[in-house]
Structure 1
Amino acid sequence: MRIVLVGPPGAGKGTQAAFLAKKLSIPHISTGDLFRANISQGTELGKRAKSYMDAGNLVPDEVTIGMAKDRMEQEDAANGFLLDGFPRNVGQAEALDGILKEWGVRLDAVLDLEVPEDEVVKRIAGRRICRNDSSHVFHVTYSKPKQEGVCDVCGGELYQRDDDKEETVRKRLEVYHTETEPIIDFYRAQDLVKTIPALGKVNEVTERALAALEG
């Protein structure tokens, strides 16, 4: 299966992508991983991306598209893939359509993880990270530490990242609504969109997504 996963920040895309890719035996291809891999391997596309990022500029679509195309051409993606974070806008979606058409294949589905905006803000703004180890993550509502502001694992100080502050989250949501959300209408016109309510336990959301794909 060839699937695109979309949804606002905080919808749980990364978590769902990992579970779904494993269940469907296809690679999970995330934009973040693509950038990290290309930059660490020193590929030509990685060097170009790094030059823009170091200058504080957005990486052009053509570079992102090139990285995604290279990854989708790898052997493990021959029978399908799950794209997470790509395409990010309609231009990238059109480019993806062109690539797949060239290969004589098409997308099977676009899974749209739907979460109310206030819940997104609550999920992200409530996160607290350990200063000693960023893999120790807590939440003021959903996963409280035993002692406020103190990591249960190592006793380190818990803090809120600047990216997780409410004002920043709402700005990220604005960017999502402006840039990425239009791809849902783009794919809806192709009858590919399956909307998945993303509230509830992780496994419940995964089951909804799998049921939608089977349907």
Structure 2
Amino acid sequence: MRIVLVGPPGAGKGTQAAYLAENLSIPHISTGDLFRANISQGTPLGRQAKEFMDAGRLVPDEVTIGMAEDRMQQEDASGGFLLDGFPRNIGQAEALDGYLDAHELKLDAVLDLEVPEEEVVKRIAGRRICRTDSSHVFHAEYAPPKADGVCDKCGGELYQREDDSEATVRKRLAVYHSETEPIIDYYKAQGLVTTISGLGAAAEVTQRAMSALGRD
């Protein structure tokens, strides 16, 4: 199967993408992984991306598209893939369609992971990270530490990352609404979109998605 997973920041796309890719035996292709792999391997696209990132500028669509197309041509993706974070705008969606058409392929589904905006803000703004070990993550409401501001595992100080502040989260949501959300209507016109509630336990969300794909 060839699937695009769409949803706002904080909707749980990364978690669901990993679960779905494993259940469907297809590779999970995320934009973040593409950038890290290309930059660490020093590919021409990776070097271009690094130049823009080091200058504090957005990486152009053509670089991201090139990375995605290279990855989709790898052997493990020959039987399908799950795209997470790509496409993120109409231009990238059109480029993906062009790539698929050129290779006589098609998308099977676009899963729209829906979470209310205030829940997204609560999820992200409530995160607390340990300064001593960043793998120790808590949540002010959903997974609070035993002692306020103190890591249960090592006693380190817990803090809120600047990227997780409410103001930053709302800015990220505004970008999602203006740039990425329009691809949902783009794919609805092709009859590909199924909206899945992202609320509840991760396993419940995965089951909804698998049912929507006819794989329950």
Q: TM-score, normalized by length of structure 1?
A: 0.99
> How much has 1:152 moved relative to structure 2?
1.1
Q: Indicate yes or no: 2:60 matched with 1:60.
A: yes
CA distance in 2, matches of 1:132, 1:6: 33
Alignment partner, residue 181 of structure 2: 181
Q: Indicate yes or no: 2:157 matched with 1:157.
A: yes
> How much has 1:132 moved relative to structure 2?
1.2
Alignment partner, residue 84 of structure 2: 84
Alignment partner, residue 4 of structure 2: 4
Question: Which string of whole-angstrom CA distances, capped at 9 and with x for unpartnered residues, describes residues 117-139 of structure 1?
Answer: 00000000000011111111100
Question: Which string of whole-angstrom CA distances, capped at 9 and with x for unpartnered residues, describes residues 52-79 of structure 1?
Answer: 0000000000000000000000000000
Please state whether the residue corresponding to 2:4 is helix, strand or coil: strand
Please state whether the residue corresponding to 2:213 is helix, strand or coil: helix
Alignment partner, residue 15 of structure 1: 15
Please state whether the residue corresponding to 1:214 is helix, strand or coil: coil
**One-letter amino acid of the structure 2 residue matched with residue 201 of structure 1:** A
CA distance in 1, matches of 2:134, 2:101: 41
In structure 1, the gaps of 5 or more residues are none
Q: Indicate yes or no: 2:113 matched with 1:113.
A: yes
Please state whether the residue corresponding to 1:101 is helix, strand or coil: helix
Question: Which string of whole-angstrom CA distances, capped at 9 and with x for unpartnered residues, describes residues 156-214 of structure 1?
Answer: 11100000000000000000000000000000000000100010000000000000010
Q: TM-score, normalized by length of structure 2?
A: 0.99
**One-letter amino acid of the structure 2 residue matched with residue 184 of structure 1:** I
CA distance in 2, matches of 1:106, 1:132: 46
> How much has 1:155 moved relative to structure 2?
1.0
CA distance in 2, matches of 1:154, 1:25: 37
**One-letter amino acid of the structure 1 residue matched with residue 51 of structure 2:** S
In structure 2, the gaps of 5 or more residues are none
CA distance in 2, matches of 1:183, 1:110: 10
CA distance in 2, matches of 1:86, 1:56: 21
> How much has 1:83 moved relative to structure 2?
0.3
Alignment partner, residue 199 of structure 1: 199
Alignment partner, residue 45 of structure 1: 45
CA distance in 1, matches of 2:88, 2:133: 30
